Amino acid sequence: MTAAEVSADDRAHVFHSWSAQGLINPLPVKGASGSYFWDYEDTKYLDFASQLVNVNIGHQHPRLVAAIQEQAAQLCTIQPAFANDKRGEAARLISELAPENLNKVFFTNGGAEANENAIRMARGHTGRHKVLATYRSYHGSTSTAITATGDPRRWANEPTAVGVVHFWGPYPYRSPFYSQTPEQETERALRHLRDTIVFEGAGTIAAVLIETVVGTNGILVPPPGYLRGVREICDAYGIVFIADEVMAGFGRCGEWFAVDRWGVAPDLITFAKGVNSGYLPLGGVIISDEIAETFRERPFPGGLTYSGHPLACASAVASIEIFKEEGIVEHARMIGDDVIAPGLAELADRHPSVGEVRGLGVFWALELVRDRATREPLVPFNASGSAAGPMNELAAACRERGLWPFTHFNRVHVAPPCTVAADEVREGLAVLDRALDVADRYY
């Protein structure tokens, strides 16, 4: 097919996510390899977004492709009530990577379903109904997951499901608590969480659901002691701690799971994206022994036709093996520490519009401002249309030079595959350097 034919079918028949259908013109993509994808004119783009921050292992990894082909020849599908070799192996490998007391996996088709089912488990385990989630969060677009989501994507879906209460998580650069130091931010954020629990009624709260490192809402790395504090508060009130690692897990933060960086064990971890780099739809919930025990004699009231799909599970098994054999988690940490962090610090030195650089592993954000002293964002929160102009111009300036960035409100995120080479990062940062001149013009 030609690019024009691909576009014609797309425009006539594909209904796209999160879009005004008449205002978009999706790029027809022909192929991909490693850190790049290309269109029908063979224009190559360096994928600094890893698609939707999911292609952790890079595009078209030959071993992963072969593992899917092998499984397809063996057994494409078998319903979840049967035992299956790849399903069991994937569950075992994932549990072995997770903190010690998380030993069972419920498979889903993606991240939203993982959060839906984690909440259901927490409610069943505690006999309580409320879920606390942060305002700066995204947990998926199914019913309960979009209700738990704190960002503006929730607004258009209201009225949503019931039972979610939002609270403020830490965000040192724009602290809602007026903190001066990260330590003070931790203390105040934890006090706010405790107060929210007390005023909502601890006996009504099933779960605290947080992204370990907040993703789409700004790569907010928790300040020292925050996650440990959340763990202690959950323990004190008998609340289930759910860590959403859909975006932060599987190497993205230079760890298998982001919680590993702080040595904290949640009760449930939700995952998707990086588990198999999205080569096939897969997500899930990793479950603590205590919560699994709740459902030993009592049925778990949930299920999916494709839960633990053999093709998807085979791809997870192969992906985890590749991660281990190629040292991809360690590589992601090294790239973050030695290449991205110093590279972005240089950009911040050169461009006044860069208000803050933050991140870890291959998960970074540049927060752009009109004024460093006042921290006025380059475009307002939930900017759209003309207000987003500077960000659209900046993204276009990147794409013209072969870089595919991820931009959201007043931020540019740098999230290449975990396998990205140091030279590829430097190539991308050089393009970003020129594109940031656009943002500086609005400073």
Q: Which residue is nearest to ligand PLP (CB)?
A: 111
**N residues, the chain:** 443
**Per CB under 6 A, which region of 138-146, 354-362, 365-373, 385-393 contacts ligand PLP?**
138-146
Give residues 228-247 in contact with ligand PLP (rule: CB under 6 A). Answer: 244, 246-247
Which residues are CB-neighbours of 143 under 8 A, at least 6 positions away? Answer: 116, 160, 161
Tell the smallest beta-carbon distance from residue 364 to ligand PLP (Å): 15
Among 169, 170, 172, 215, binds ligand PLP (CB under 6 A): 215
Which residues does residue 368 pair with via DSSP β-bridges, in sequence order?
354
Q: Least distance to ligand PLP from the beta carbon of 356, Å?
A: 21
Kindly tell me which of 245 and 424 has the beta carbon lying closer to ligand PLP: 245
Is 110 a residue that touches ligand PLP (CB under 6 A)? yes
Judge whether 236 and 210 are in contact, CB under 8 Å: no
**DSSP letter at 338?**
I
Q: State yes or no: residue 111 binds ligand PLP (CB under 6 A).
A: yes
| Terminal-to-terminal C-alpha distance of the chain | 45
Among 37, 45, 138, 409, binds ligand PLP (CB under 6 A): 138
Closest approach, Cβ 56 to ligand PLP, in A, equals 13
Q: How many C-alpha atoms does 332 have within 13 Å on its Cβ side?
A: 33
- Residues in 298-357 that interact with ligand PLP by CB under 6 A: none
Nearest-CA neighbor of 204 among 156, 145, 162? 162
Give the torsion through C-alpha atoms of 212, 217, 221, 223, to 10 deg: -100
Q: Is 112 in the site for ligand PLP (CB under 6 A)?
A: yes
Shortest spacing between CB 52 and ligand PLP, in angstroms: 6
Nearer to ligand PLP, 115 or 419 (CB): 115
Smaller CB separation from ligand PLP, 113 or 367: 113
- 168 close to 189: Cβ distance less than 8 angstroms: yes
Between 140 and 355, CB nearer to ligand PLP: 140
Output 304 or 422, the one with its CB closest to ligand PLP: 304
Residue 263 has which token pair?
Answer: 């040595």
Site for ligand PLP in 5-44 (CB under 6 A): none
> Beta 36-39 vs 29-33: how paired, if at all?
antiparallel
Parallel, antiparallel or unpaired: strands 268-271 and 29-33: unpaired
Number of residues that bind ligand PLP (CB under 6 A): 16
Does residue 272 interact with ligand PLP by CB under 6 A?
A: yes
Closer by beta carbon to ligand PLP, 35 or else 216: 216
- CA–CA gap between residue 133 and residue 103 (Å, rounded): 25
Binding-site member from 35, 56, 216, 410 for ligand PLP (CB under 6 A): 216
Choose the stretch contacting ligand PLP; rule: CB under 6 A; options: 4-12, 43-51, 69-77, 108-116.
108-116
The torsion defined by the Cα of 258, 228, 409 and 142, in degrees rounded to 10, comes to 70
At closest approach, how far in Å is the CB of 51 from ligand PLP? Answer: 10
Q: Which residue's entry shows tokens 């594909």?
A: 14
Should residue 251 be labelled a site residue for ligand PLP when binding is judged by CB under 6 A? no
Binds ligand PLP (CB under 6 A): choice among 140, 254, 274, 308 = 140
Toward ligand PLP, which CB reaches closer, 124 or 283?
Answer: 283
* Exposure on the CB side of residue 341, measured as CA atoms within 13 A: 13
Dist. CA 261–CA 275, nearest whole Å: 18
Figure out which of the listed residues 116, 151, 187, 211 binds ligand PLP, where binding follows CB under 6 A.
211
Which residues of 157-305 form beta strands (DSSP E)? 164-167, 205-211, 240-244, 268-271, 283-288
Nearest distance from residue 325's CB to ligand PLP, in Å?
A: 26
Contact 77, 84 (CB under 8 A): no
Query: What is residue 335's DSSP assignment?
Result: I
User: Do 199 and 248 form a contact (C-beta atoms < 8 A)?
Assistant: no
* Interface with ligand PLP, residue 119, by CB under 6 A: no
Interface residues with ligand PLP (CB under 6 A) are 52, 110-112, 115, 138-140, 211, 215-216, 244, 246-247, 272, 283
